[in-house]
Chains A and B, each alone.
Chain A
Amino acid sequence: RGAGAPRDKNEKPYLLPSVKEAEKRIVESGWNGVQQKEYAGITGIKEFCDASVKFAYGADSPALKENRLISAQVLSGTGGGRIAFEFYARFLGKGVPVYMPDPTWANHLPMAKDAGLSLQTYRYYDKNTYGLDFTGMCEDIKAAKDGSIFMLHACAHNPTGVDPTIEQWKEISALLKKKNHIVFLDMAYQGFASGDADKDAAALRMLVADGHDVMLAQSFAKNFGLYGERVGCLSMVGSTTEEAQRLLSQLKILIRPMYSNPPIHGARIVATVLDDPVLNKQWYAECKGMADRIIEMRTALKDGLAKEGSTRNWDHVVDQIGMFCFSGMTPEQVEKLKTEYHIYMTKNGRISMAGITTKNVGYLAHAMHAVTK
Chain B
Amino acid sequence: PTMARTHLLLASVLLLPALATCTTTSRWSAVPQAPPDPILGVATAYNADPAEMKVNLGIGAYRNNEGKPIVLRCVREAEKKIANDETAMKEYLPIQGLEAFRKVTSAVIFGEDSPAVKEGRIAVVQSLSGTGALRVAGEFIAKYNPGTTVYISDPSWGNHHTIFQRCGLQTKKYRYLSESMGLDIDGMLEDLRAAPEGSTFILHTVAHNPTGVDPTQEQWKKIAEVCKERNAILVFDTAYQGYASGNLEGDAWSLRYFANELDMELFVTQSYSKNFGLYGERIGALNVLCKDKTTADRVLSQLKTVVRPMYSSPQLHGARLVAGVLNEPELKSLWNVELKEMADRINEMRTALVGALNDIKCPLPGPQFADWSHITRQIGMFAYTGLSEAHCKVLTDKYHIYCTKNGRFSMAGGNPGKVKDIA
| Chain-B contact segment, one of A253-261, A307-315, A360-368 | A253-261
Residue of A nearest to B72 (CB): A37
Given A253-B34, A257-B162, do A23 and B83 touch, yes or no (CB 8 Å)? yes
**Interface size, B (range):** 35 or more
Given A227-B90, A246-B33, A259-B129, do A37 and B71 touch, yes or no (CB 8 Å)? yes
Q: Does B311 contact A (CB under 8 A)?
A: yes
Contacting pair A263 B279 (CB below 8 A): no
Chain B contacts for A243, CB-based, 8 A? 26, 28-29, 31
Contacting pair B26 A239 (CB below 8 A): yes
Contacting pair B313 A39 (CB below 8 A): no
A136 CB to nearest B CB, Å: 26
In whole angstroms, how far apart are the Cα atoms of A259 and B132 in the complex? Answer: 4
Chain A 226-242 per-residue mask, 1 if CB under 8 angstroms from chain B, else 0: 11111000000011100
Contacting pair B315 A265 (CB below 8 A): yes
Residue of B nearest to A232 (CB): B311
A212 CB to nearest B CB, Å: 11
In whole angstroms, how far apart are the Cα atoms of A35 and B79 in the complex? Answer: 12
Given A110-B309, A213-B26, A228-B91, do A252 and B37 touch, yes or no (CB 8 Å)? yes
Residue of A nearest to B165 (CB): A257
Residue of B nearest to A36 (CB): B69
Chain A contacts for B33, CB-based, 8 A? 245-246, 249
Q: Does B317 contact A (CB under 8 A)?
A: yes
Contacting pair B312 A78 (CB below 8 A): yes
Chain A 311-355 per-residue mask, 1 if CB under 8 angstroms from chain B, else 0: 000000000000000000000000000000000000000000000
Contacting pair B310 A258 (CB below 8 A): yes
Contacting pair B89 A246 (CB below 8 A): no
A158 CB to nearest B CB, Å: 13
A190 CB to nearest B CB, Å: 18
Chain B 1-39 per-residue mask, 1 if CB under 8 angstroms from chain A, else 0: 000000000000000000000001011111111111100
Given A114-B309, A114-B310, A250-B34, do A259 and B279 touch, yes or no (CB 8 Å)? no
Contacting pair A258 B315 (CB below 8 A): no
Contacting pair A5 B71 (CB below 8 A): no
Contacting pair A182 B279 (CB below 8 A): no
How many residues does chain A have at the interface if contact means C-beta atoms less than 8 Å apart?
64
Q: Does B217 contact A (CB under 8 A)?
A: no
**Interface residue ranges of A73-105 to B (CB < 8 Å):** 75-76, 78-79, 82, 91
**Interface residue ranges of B39-98 to A (CB < 8 Å):** 40, 43-44, 59, 61, 69-71, 75-76, 79-80, 82-84, 86, 88-93
Given A42-B40, A76-B311, A256-B37, do A263 and B159 touch, yes or no (CB 8 Å)? no
Q: Does B412 contact A (CB under 8 A)?
A: no
Contact of B89 among A3, A13, A213 (CB under 8 A): A13
In whole angstroms, how far apart are the Cα atoms of A13 and B87 in the complex? Answer: 10
Given A41-B40, A42-B37, A260-B131, do A228 and B316 touch, yes or no (CB 8 Å)? yes
Chain B contacts for A230, CB-based, 8 A? 311-315
Chain A contacts for B316, CB-based, 8 A? 228-229, 265
**Interface residue ranges of A174-211 to B (CB < 8 Å):** 180, 182
Given A3-B92, A246-B32, A259-B129, do A82 and B310 touch, yes or no (CB 8 Å)? yes
Chain A contacts for B37, CB-based, 8 A? 42, 252, 256
Given A20-B86, A78-B310, A113-B309, do A263 and B28 touch, yes or no (CB 8 Å)? no
Q: Does B418 contact A (CB under 8 A)?
A: no
Q: Does A38 contact B (CB under 8 A)?
A: yes
Q: List 6 A-B contacts (CB under 8 A).
A: A35-B70, A78-B311, A78-B312, A114-B309, A243-B28, A261-B40
Top 5 nearest A-B pairs by Cβ distance?
A75-B311, A259-B128, A110-B309, A265-B317, A264-B280
